[in-house]
Structure formats: C-alpha cells, structure tokens
Structure 1
Amino acid sequence: GFGRIENLEEYCNVKALFLEGNCFETLEGLPPLKSLKCLFVQQNCLNEISHLEELEGLDTLNISNNHISMIENLSCCPNLRTFTCTNNLLSTYESISHLAECKSISTLDLQFNRLDDPKILEIFKQMPNLRCLYLKGNPVVSQIKNYRKTLISSIPTLTYLDDRPVFDNERAICDAWANGGLEAERSTRTRLIEEEEGRRRRNHNFLTQLRANAVRDRRRRLGLPEEDSDPDLESLDDEYDVPEEPKELIQARKQFQAYLVEHGLEVGPTEAAVEPRTFCTSCVGP
C-alpha cells in the first residue's frame, strides 16, 4: 500500500475518500477538501489523529484498526456525526476525554479497545447529541455494575447501545430503576404490562364492534332480520354439509376385516374401525 498521502489537491470536490488498507503513519498531506463528508482510513499504521483542520465539513470518520492511543484534534470538525475508532489502543479516561468537546457526534463506536475506567461515563454524559454508542469488547463493560441500565439511565439521548436498540419501555424501566431501585423497576414493569394489555383489549373490542356493525349493515341491505350472524357465512352452511359414509363402503370395510381375521393377518387400528364415519363429498371423486 501507499506510505503517505499526496497528490489529492485536484480532487477538491470529492465527498468520500477511501484510504483504508495502506501504511499511513500520519494524515499529513490531506489537502483542504471543503466538500469532503466521509473519510475512511482504517487498517493503516496511524499513531495519532491530526491534520483534520481543513476538513470542516467532515461528517464521518473511520479510523479503526490503527495504533491510536489518544483521541484528539476532532473538535476542529464541527459537523462530525459518526466517529468509528474500534480495535485501537484507547485505555484510560484521559485517552477519550477529548470527546466531551465533540458536541456534534451522534454515533460513537469504541469497540474492542482497552477502556477499563467506569468514569468514562461522565464523558458520554457531556455529549448532547449522542444517539448510538458501542463499547462491546472493552473491560469497562464488566466494570460498570448493571452496565446497560446504568448507561441508558445516564444518557437520556441514547437510542442504541451495543447490540440492540433502546426502546421507550426499556428506557422507562431503566429510569425507574435509577430513581427508585428494584421496587420502582418492578412497579414500572407491571404498569407497562397492564398498559399493553389494555391497548390490546381496546383494539380487540374496536375490531369486534367494527365487524358487528358491518354484519348489521349487510343484513339491513339484504332485508334480513337484525341479528349478529353474518349472512355470507350462513349461506355456506348447506354447501358444506358433511353426509355419512355410504352403506356399501361400511359393508366393504367389514368384509375386509373378516378376511384379515380369517387368514390370521394382523388387524390394525385402521382396519378395525368399522363404525360409520362422515366424509366430505367435495373431497372424493364420483
């Protein structure tokens, strides 16, 4: 791969730049690309984040799989919303404290680093637009007691944490737990279940009433007496009458059973059933 960034000056209107899988040790050489929105420099040999000052319009930066031990120099990108820095060397509170100055970031991916200080939660609290946070693969996940409930209740803007979204019910439960402990959490769970059952019951009653109104309206249009039965279904009753089996079939089954007994053959449960049965004429041939 390439060892340095150069000769990009003529691409002044480029919006996405893919430089992954090279040998860059620095981002020096990036020209002032005013239109650049997305920069992908994962899988290089970068030791620091720098030379982004001229990229004021940058929206997405992926700097994963490098040798980054300190997040820095991002606040010069006021429009940065998605920052991905997985599989690097971040380990301490100080190594990511600069994120508190990056107010525009909404999606932050720090998976598979070495972060182990529960105090990093205070940094995320200072990010007013943080929506999606990924911390899987860091020791801090097991260091924070009640990890998921703690983060959700501490970051009110969060809508996605690690492997799944944060729905309204989960947030209500986490907030109750944070404010009133387990008792408040149980009470909130019970209330949410009752509210859901109430919604289902109201929907069922509404649909039942809707159907009943439709049946009454149909009977009225057909000049039938007012009842709850559907005239369209009543007309099907005669069509699907199920008659008894013909006497000839019953007699033939009995003769077959006698033949099996006479020749010492085993009589299975099917052959032993000689009582008249009913069948649907629409299911057999003439």
Structure 2
Amino acid sequence: SDLSRHAGDIFGCSREFLNNSSSPTGAKMATARAKFADFEAASRPAFEEDPVDENGFPIMTHKVVHRIVYREFGGYIEPSINDVVNLENRRWREIRDLNKYTGVTVLHLENNQIGPTIGNGLAHMSKLKALYLQCNMVRQVDSLAANQKLTLLNVATNQISGFAEGGLPHSLNTLLVSANNISTAAALAPLASLPNLEVLDLSRNNLEGGDEAFDLFARMPALRVLYLQHNPIQKTEYYRRRLVSGCRRLTYLDDTPVETAERVGCEAWAASG
C-alpha cells in the first residue's frame, strides 16, 4: 500500500519486516512496529465533518488539503514534495493554508467558488508553472506577480472584467480568459506589458471594436495565437486585416491560421492607407 511504501522510505524497512516476529532483531523490530503504528495513526484521515463558513461553504484547511492530496490522489505525505496537486470540485471560496506546498508546479483549482479575487494564497508557490482556475467566481486577477515561473493561467468562465497593472508575472505564455465580462481595451491594457505572452483566448466576452483594441493587440510583443470569437469586435470592418497587419508575429487568429500570402496581402493593404 501507499502507507507501507512511505513508511519504508521513512523507517528504512518494509511492512513485511515489521510483521516478521521471527526476526532475530526483535528489539529493533518492536521499535519499528511502534513507529509504524504512530505513523499510521498520524496519517489516518479525519472522520469528523470538514469545517464550513457561516454560509455553509467548505473551508480550505491544511488538514483537508493533506487528506485530499495524500489519501484521495495518492500524493506524498510530505507536502513540499508534491508537484501536481488536484483540488478541483470542492466548493471552496478562498485559497488558503497551502503554505507547505512549496514544490507545486501544476495546480488544479477549477470548479470551485473562489472569488472575487485570487488573493495571496499562492504567493509561496515559487515553482508554479500552470494554474487552472476556470469555472470559479473570480472578478479581478491582481495577485500572481510573485509566481515568476507561471507560464499557463486558465481563468475561463469566471466574472473577470479586467486585469490589474502588475498583477501577472512576465513569465506568462498562455492566458485563457474565455467566457468572462471583458468589454473594453482598457481592461486588457496590463497585458501589453507581458513580454512572453504568446497565446491569448478572449472568446465569448463582450469586447468592443475601436482603434484602442486593435492598437492594444499590436503592442503585445510576443502574441502568436489570438481567439476573439463571439465578441462584438469581430463585426468591425476589416477586422482580420487590421489584426494580421498590426500583430506582426500572429500565426493563428480565431479558427484560421495566418498564412504567408495572407500576411503579405494584409500588410500591403495597411501600407496603402
């Protein structure tokens, strides 16, 4: 079992050895058995109800998270060793008590009730590379700058209306924000300062057209893939020509790749005034 495996790692013995009463090292075996019993007791999941807030929503606590990671998903008993942590579908409203999970590189928090902000509960995860927060209640993304290795952020299907200046790390490569409440270019202005942002999904928002929006995308230095389906901006005259000519590194727009011939034509159109 997982418990036996971890006990063997800690105490340098197998469960078979612990139960071998014919071993000549009886005293050592008895000590090891006692340690193993203490280990099992400490690792046993709690049977009492998990704590809830005044509105009946579950509260994220270290004890609950430890049980989920170790017991339900077969993770390591030492929190800092776990690199992929699955905490989705728990109805949590706040990210907290994850300070011991310092080695996490991939964190799943989708399908909870987290919001209105992400908060500072992930600031200690210096190795975090991918964060899945889709299907929550987030309205503002303003506190992930400390996660300087973060490359993928999925906040689709939330209630986001904009991004705070300095709220995202420069390492970010892929940002998925479909099905939110973004309507203006000003709400997206902080994204233009992200030097490594290559993939941006803004489909199913309410983004309007206008020079501000086209200029904003043109200022994104690394942008290669852009999804804007189901936004009012798509109805703007010369929508595709303006984006392809303005975003010099763009290789994919909505559901269609940007071929060389199209780029040449769009840039010639833009140059002609």
TM-score by length of 2: 0.63
- Provide Cα deviations, 1:179-237, integer angstroms capped at 9, x if missing partner: 347xxxxxxxxxxxxxxxxxxxxxxxxxxxxxxxxxxxxxxxxxxxxxxxxxxxxxxxx
Q: Distance in 2 between matches of 1:149 and 1:123?
A: 15
1:103 is displaced (CA, Å) by 2.2
Deviation at 1:78, TM superposition (A): 1.2
- Listed one character per residue, the Cα deviations across residues 147-169 of structure 1 (whole Å, up to 9, x for unaligned) are 11221111111011000111111
Q: Please, what is the CA RMSD of the aligned residues?
A: 1.5
CA distance in 1, matches of 2:93, 2:146: 21
1:130 to 2:220 alignment: no
Paired AA for residue 9 in structure 1: N
Task: Describe how 1:198-277 pairs up with structure 2 within 5 A.
Answer: none
The letter of the residue matching 1:176 is A
Count the aligned residue pairs.
Answer: 180
* Paired-residue identity, %: 36
- The residue type paired with residue 127 of structure 1 is M
* Partner residue of 1:16 out of 106, 125, 135: 106
Consecutive unaligned residues of structure 2, counting only runs of 5 or more, are 1-90
The answer for the alignment partner of 2:191 in structure 1 is: 99
- Aligned runs of 1:1-286 on 2, under 5 Å? 1-25=91-115, 26-28=117-119, 29-74=121-166, 76-118=168-210, 119-142=212-235, 144-180=236-272
1:51–1:75: structure 2 CA closer, same or farther, 3 Å change rule? closer
Q: Does the 8 Å CA contact 1:38/1:59 hold for their aligned counterparts?
A: yes
CA contact (8 A) 2:218 2:243 kept: no
- Mapped to 2, the partners of 1:80 and 1:9 lie a distance apart of 22
Q: Provide the C-alpha distance between the structure 1 equivalents of 2:238 and 2:209, rounded to a whole number of angstroms.
A: 15
Tell me, in whole angstroms, the C-alpha distance in 1 between the residues paired with 2:112 and 2:165. 22
Larger helix share, 1 or 2: 1
Per-residue displacement from partner, 1:79-134 (whole Å, max 9, x unpaired)?
Answer: 10111111111111211112222222111111111111322111111111110111
Question: Structure 1 residue 32: deviation in Å?
Answer: 1.3
Distance 2:272 2:168 in 1: 41
State the Cα distance separating 1:73 from its structure 2 match. 4.3
Consecutive unaligned residues of structure 1, counting only runs of 5 or more, are 182-286
TM-score of the pair, normalised by structure 1: 0.60
CA distance, structure 2, for counterparts of residue 93 and residue 164 of structure 1: 23
Q: 2:51: which partner in 1?
A: none
Q: Report the CA distance shift for 1:46/1:76 in structure 2 as closer, same or farther (over 3 A).
A: closer
